[in-house]
Amino acid sequence: MNKLILIEDKSKCTGCNACMQICPAKCIEMKRDAEGFWYPVADKDKCLKCNACVNACPVINCGKVHSGNLHLSNENETGDAKTIRKNETESDEKAGCGNETESDEKAGCGNENESDDKAGCGNGLEQCKVLAYGCRNRDEDVRYKSSSGGVFSAFAKEIIEDGGVVFACVLKGKKAVIEKTCDISGLEAMRGSKYVQCDTQNAYSEIKEILASNRKVLFVGTPCQTAGLYSFLGYREYPNLFTMDFICHGVPSPKLFEDYVDSIESKNKSKVTSFKFRNKDKGWSQTGLQLGTYYELKNGKTVRNYPAFKDRYMNAFLDDVALRPSCYDCRFKSIPKSYADYTVADFWGISKIIPELNDKKGTSLLLVHSKKGEEYLKEIAEALEALPVGFKESVKRNPPLLKSAVRYKRRDRFFEDYEKYGYDYVEKKYMSAFKWGTHKAFSVFGSIWKRFEQFIKFGIVGISNTVICLAVYYLGLLVGIDYRISYTLGFLASVCNAFYWNNKYVFKNKQEKSILKAFAKVFASYGLSFVISIILMNIFVELLHIPSVIAPLLKLVVTIPINFVLNKVWAFKDKKIK
């Protein structure tokens, strides 16, 4: 059945522009909503009902866009963020080409890294690996001008020297757009992070034309933009296309950024001529101090907001109140990736993994998803210092690889007030350092409380286990059954009770397919506890001559903490990288 792009749930549109660019009738226009994000609006009268827009949507076809199934959705989301389901259209086309720019390795190919760490589990992931490297550009000037280690510049320079074209985000005044360059001098504007949603314009269409001429292309974008290019190209593999995405926290509203720059210009009575979201003049470290913005004004004034929380726009970004709705349940936080060759990021935590690469001037993490990407990485060895590292340990300090930002209720209040009262009002109410710090503190406290609350719930279940176990145990003693056998019967009854309540109430296991496996693990966990209990009870009763009626109560001091740890980190373990 033919379909037309119709946005009913904004959390399911990334604004990648693929539908607009592929429409043969040019009946789709990208328009901003009140929050300042782009969404496709189709003219039904001009529509040819060719279904091209639907087939090009990376969200609708998310099953074809990536092969990864290691994906985390937030349990505590609020608002309209929802898990994106299986692809809504039928297609026989298979996902198979790499399209990410920060990593040249597809999931499923060989691993030169001497690590056995795998990028996930189940459905073939046990057979595939993602290569991980710590990288630094050998050109110190280029590395200094880059956000981290200058990986993008090394690949982009090689592509251009091979006669190719590079597509990446640049700031043009107050707008962030994807532009192309075939000149090394054009890379200057492409370096550095841009914490605002970037308009892909007609980049996908241009890339398709260039690929047809057999020139090499490097595309760099967010995961959803890279997936959008892959779906736009019909899920085909192009040997001359290299794609690079990055570990993305989320994209703030373009309109909000424009109003922010307008506010700067109004306060200073001068135009902003240069703007950087990150500056390494104070070094590079995970404290985030280098995230502070830097901008120059036409009147000669320069401003350095250091650290980041001195900049109100960055506070909104870091506090997660200004992100696109789809960012709160991103469908493209998965490993491995079929639509990307590379994924890049700051290599946070490098000091504990490969400290020899950390000179505090910036080091990049490079994930390689494709064989094509792996081979091309070898070609830039002279420009890029790259040391292999185990995948799992390399991404521990980069949770946004797999987990979306949490959509708090204040996010909706922020945009309601923004639409009603304008930028100056929300800047004062939501974007101060005090607000950011307060929310950060409450977030940390909430995380601690959540774990404590879970332990309390486990304790309540533990009490019910004890009551059931002791009831069966004492009944057995009453009818003359040996205390060991009585305790065994009580243990079996308590395990069944423990599994039911821990599964539904304490750890809330939502992976229905793993229930039997979880039960086996729970049984094994309590089995270990049972063995320890029997040993302790023998010591209490036989050696210390403690009454058999009291012995089961004393052993709880040892067994309850053991059971909690085993259940949390093993039996009901979250499906994420440890």
Higher pLDDT, residue 430 or 515: 430
Residues 184, 294 contacting (CB under 8 angstroms): no
Residue 72 has pLDDT above 70, yes or no: no
| pLDDT of the residue at 288 | 64
- Per residue in 138-184, pLDDT tens? 999 999 999 999 999 999 999 999 999 999 999 999 999 999 999 99
Q: 182 is written with which tokens?
A: 């075939």
Q: Beta strands of 293-431 (E only): which ranges?
A: 294-297, 302-304, 342-346, 364-368, 384-389
Q: 127 is written with which tokens?
A: 């057979």
Based on DSSP, count helices (H) and strands (E) in the chain, helices before strands. 18, 13
Which DSSP state fits 336? Answer: S
Residues in the chain: 578
- pLDDT-derived band at 76, boundaries 50, 70, 90: very low
Give Cβ neighbours of residue 343 (< 8 Å, ≥ 6 apart): 100, 102, 103, 223, 244, 245, 246, 247, 337, 366, 367, 369, 401
Residue 336 has pLDDT above 90, yes or no: no
Residue 278 has pLDDT above 80, yes or no: yes
Mean pLDDT of 410-415: 95
Which candidate, 279, 275, 270, places its Cα nearest to that of 257? 275
User: Does this model's pTM top 0.85?
Assistant: no
d(CA 461, CA 475): 21
| pLDDT of the residue at 565 | 82
Name the β-bridge partners of 38: 32
Q: What are phi and psi of 409, to 5 degrees?
A: -65, -30
d(CA 318, CA 333): 18
Residues 1, 90 contacting (CB under 8 angstroms): no
| pLDDT of the residue at 358 | 93
| pLDDT of the residue at 455 | 77
d(CA 27, CA 7): 15
CB atoms within 10 A of CB 471: 13
Q: What are phi and psi of 45, to 5 degrees?
A: -70, -30
Q: 113 is written with which tokens?
A: 């890294």
Mean pLDDT of 264-283: 93
Residue 376 has pLDDT above 90, yes or no: yes
d(CA 367, CA 389): 10
Torsion over CA of 571, 397, 117 and 154, rounded to 10 degrees?
160
- Per residue in 514-565, pLDDT tens? 667 777 888 888 888 878 888 988 898 888 888 877 887 788 788 878 878 8
d(CA 53, CA 23): 6
Q: Beta strands of 233-276 (E only): which ranges?
A: 241-246, 272-276
Residues 432, 316 contacting (CB under 8 angstroms): no
- Per residue in 20-34, pLDDT tens? 999 999 999 999 999
Task: Tell me the CB-side half-sphere exposure of residue 78, using CA atoms within 13 A.
Answer: 9
Q: Are strands 131-137 and 165-172 parallel, antiparallel or unpaired?
A: unpaired
Mean pLDDT of 292-318: 91
Q: Which residue has the tokens 């023998």?
A: 538
Residues 211, 205 contacting (CB under 8 angstroms): no
| pLDDT of the residue at 64 | 72
d(CA 304, CA 328): 30
CA 174 to chain centre: 27
| pLDDT of the residue at 567 | 77
| pLDDT of the residue at 509 | 62
